[in-house]
Structure 1
Amino acid sequence: MGIRTVYARFGVMLGEKGALPLMVLPYKFLAGGTIGTGRQWLSWIHVEDAAEMIRYAVENAGISGPMNVTAPNPAEMKQFGKAIARVKHRPHWLPVPEFFLSKALGEMSLLIVKGQRALPKKAITYGFRFTYSDLEYALSQLIADRKTV
């Protein structure tokens, strides 16, 4: 008799802590812009959807093995930056060198600087419903509504 195991592979978690506050910081000073080339993919997920997806996997006996804990709509970094700018009502004009994030985030910056396009196929297959599948909605909930970032 085997034990069911789920391996959660997380995208960049959007919440009060982690990478998001550092990614938003330049926009607070009217200096936001594209990180790196802007063409690298960012697989992200709102912290509330991540917690709900983990609960869903625990409660759904059919889910096992690797599972991408990401939103269904990854974005390129340029799109991500422009979404932050719209939510913060700030300009998106100044490129942000990769080394800035590398120094600030260390190893965690690899997902942002190098990019990764992961999709939550298993969660979708098993019927998981996202609250925050739209990037701009997720950012507005974290940035504009709560003023946490």
Structure 2
Amino acid sequence: MKRILITGASGFVGKHLVRHFLDFDWHVTGLGTSDAHPDIQASDRFEWVSADTTRPGSWQDHVADADVIINLAGRNIFKRWTKTYKQAIYDSRIHTTRHLVEAMVPDKPVDFLSTSAAGIYGDAGERELAEDAALGSDFLAGVCKDWEGAALAAEEKTGARVRIMRFGVVLGDGGALSVMSPAFKWFAGGPLGSGYQWFPWIHIDDLVKAMNFLIQTPDSFGIYNMVGPKPVRQRAFAKALGQVLHRPAVMPAPGFMVKLVMGELGASLLNSQKAVPRALMNQGFAFSYPDVESALAAIFGNPVPA
């Protein structure tokens, strides 16, 4: 029986991964700061470990037993970025990753899939962003660079098969859409700023499917943009979301207001990232939801009008 260790397992993506691998009869160990996990009674093959992974501790003993490690740990970025919270965003990602690598067993190569974000490209304007594109220089890009560097150290230390996963905004029943959709339901939804900025996205089912694909593909390694194959501008995304909710998308949030209310986070949300999943597609991965309309229709159960 294969054993998988998932950090951040009580988050939106983590919960989907736990259920996916339990369905495939894996032994799953989940790590997170929550006292319990909603699936704690789901299977005798699921073990929950509550721990502060930014600090070394007994939780690291579970690393040696794993055949696969998926590293999702990180504080939610969708909060106002005070100086203290920015440090928490950084520490929760980089320190956790370093502690995972420190606990890996030399000469026992594991499949190590570690999260990053499309935010690493900064504000890239109209440039198409494959995995070899130039990187940004803002706060979030800096966090991602250090995050990826900490994960890639596992390859040299233990021979781990490292895959860096640069997430777009993950769409599903929960997560980012739980923040976005209420405004539309109250007839107050619309694009952020001009809406012309490119918006990287991926359906949660394709994200989980892509991770499983990378694990099952022995020659996969390196960096992967985990985004849908058809980029969309933010205003087109807002329109599609409004249509699937049968609400207008005519209440734009002016850029200066987004920055005034949300500070540095707001400025980051206005960045343009036309990320494409070139590495995944070169490996032969097939998306179930190749466009944002089909992704939103599957989530809300309403087809988007042509």
CA distance in 1, matches of 2:260, 2:165: 24
- Point out the structure with max Rg over C-alpha: 2
Alignment check: 8 A CA contact 2:192 2:258 kept: no
> Could you tell me which residue of structure 1 aligns to residue 218 of structure 2?
61
> Could you tell me which residue of structure 1 aligns to residue 188 of structure 2?
31
Uncovered stretches (5+) of structure 1, i.e. residues with no partner: none
> Could you tell me which residue of structure 2 aligns to residue 143 of structure 1?
300
CA distance in 2, matches of 1:58, 1:140: 28
Of 17, 34, 45, which aligns to 2:202? Answer: 45
Alignment check: 8 A CA contact 1:36 1:96 kept: yes
CA distance in 2, matches of 1:107, 1:119: 23
* Residue 96 of structure 1, CA deviation: 2.1
**Root-mean-square deviation over aligned CA pairs:** 2.4
Match status 1:15 vs 2:172:
yes
Correspondences of 1:104-123 after superposition (within 5 Å): 107=265, 110=268, 112-123=269-280
* Residue 18 of structure 1, CA deviation: 2.2
* Residue 142 of structure 1, CA deviation: 1.0
- Relative to structure 1, the CA distance from residue 135 to residue 67 in structure 2 (aligned partners, 3 Å threshold; closer, same or farther) is same
CA distance in 2, matches of 1:131, 1:77: 21
TM-score between both structures, scaled by the size of structure 2: 0.43
> In the comparison of the two structures, how many residue pairs are matched?
144
Alignment check: 8 A CA contact 1:73 1:134 kept: yes
> Could you tell me which residue of structure 2 aligns to residue 87 of structure 1?
244
Alignment check: 8 A CA contact 2:203 2:295 kept: yes
For 2:210, what is the secondary structure of its paired residue? helix
- Relative to structure 1, the CA distance from residue 36 to residue 108 in structure 2 (aligned partners, 3 Å threshold; closer, same or farther) is closer
* Residue 100 of structure 1, CA deviation: 5.1
For 2:215, what is the secondary structure of its paired residue? helix
* Residue 115 of structure 1, CA deviation: 2.7
Of 229, 232, 246, which aligns to 1:75? Answer: 232
Alignment check: 8 A CA contact 2:258 2:266 kept: no
Instruction: Report which structure shows greater RCO (CA 8 Å, sep ≥6).
Output: 1
Alignment check: 8 A CA contact 2:239 2:249 kept: yes
CA distance in 2, matches of 1:141, 1:125: 26
CA distance in 2, matches of 1:102, 1:124: 39
Uncovered stretches (5+) of structure 2, i.e. residues with no partner: 1-106, 108-158
CA distance in 2, matches of 1:97, 1:25: 18
Alignment check: 8 A CA contact 1:33 1:82 kept: yes
Alignment check: 8 A CA contact 1:102 1:109 kept: no
Alignment check: 8 A CA contact 1:88 1:144 kept: no
CA distance in 2, matches of 1:74, 1:102: 28
Instruction: Identify the structure with the greater strand proportion.
Output: 2
* Residue 43 of structure 1, CA deviation: 0.8
- Relative to structure 1, the CA distance from residue 132 to residue 34 in structure 2 (aligned partners, 3 Å threshold; closer, same or farther) is same
Please tell me the residue identity of whatever aligns with 2:167.
F
CA distance in 2, matches of 1:72, 1:101: 29
> Could you tell me which residue of structure 1 aligns to residue 282 of structure 2?
125
State the identity as a percent.
34
